[in-house]
Structures are given as structure tokens and as C-alpha cells.
Amino acid sequence: MKKIAILNGPNLERLGRRQPEIYGTATLKDLERLLRTEAKTLGVALSFFQSNHEGALIDRIHAFADRGVDGFIVNFGGYSHTSIALRDALAASGKPAIEVHISDIRKRELFRRNSITAGACIAMICGRGLPGYVEALRRLAKS
């Protein structure tokens, strides 16, 4: 059974309350339920982690890689645009990763349009809301 880790970064624990006009009204728990349902269909095991702290996310990438995770789905939030360290951690993991953004970062503020961390990923999905995570899960399950 494939093992996929879903890592969410800063402010994503605020889903459902934070700017619902951009991110919708579903919560992080709703996202986890959605993905668990799809994972059962695909025969994939999931692990979830969310942190507002860059170092905690890096530590978890290392730990998941060391435990034999087969791939990552990541939404590093604002760190996507600033963190070379997270990019390096993903690249060093040797595991495929797909970056997901709920909103379309290419249509947002200029500072959000470039993702540093996407360079360590096999794909980036943005602007599809929570179904973007499901698409990422399906892609990793097939790879």
C-alpha cells in the first residue's frame, strides 16, 4: 500500500474562517475527511501534518522520508514563496511531491505568483480549491 503524506503550512488550520471568499468555508478537518475517503478508494495510506513553523515542516519531511513515505502533497502557504529550506528538504527526500494551492496564485498579488518550493515538485496544482488535493492524491497514487 502506498503511503502519502499531506503537509500543510502556516494559516491552513484557519481554513473555513480565513478569507472564505478566497479559500472557501471548508475546514482543514473537512479536507482530511475528503482525502481519507478518496484514499480508501485508491488503496492509499495517508498521514497528515500542519504547522505554522518552517522548521517543524522540515523535520516532518525528513521523518516521513526516513519512514518510507512514497510521496508528498504539500501546501506550504506563504512559505511557498519564501522558503529555500523547504524546497531543499523536499528535494533531499528523494520522494515525488505535488504542491497544491487552493487559490490560483498566478492571479493573486505579485509576491504570491512565484513558488520557490514548486521547483522541488513534480507538479503544482492551483486554483482548484480542495479538489486540487484530490487530484494530487490520484496522481501520486498512480505514479
Q: Give the model confidence (pLDDT) of 113-125 as tens digits.
A: 889 999 999 999 9
Q: Give the model confidence (pLDDT) of 58-101 as tens digits.
A: 999 999 999 999 999 999 999 999 999 999 999 999 999 999 99
The DSSP secondary-structure symbol of 94 reads T
* 3-state DSSP of 87-119: HHHHHHHCCCEEEEECCCHHHCCHHHCCCCHHH
pTM of the predicted model over 0.85: yes
Which residues carry out catalysis? Answer: 23, 101
The confidence band for 107, taking pLDDT boundaries of 50, 70 and 90, is confident
Number of compact structural domains in the chain? 1
Helix (H) or strand (E) holding 1: none
Task: Give the per-residue pLDDT at 23.
Answer: 77
Task: Give the per-residue pLDDT at 111.
Answer: 76
CATH of the domain at 22: 3.40.50.9100
Q: Which domain holds residue 59?
A: 2-142
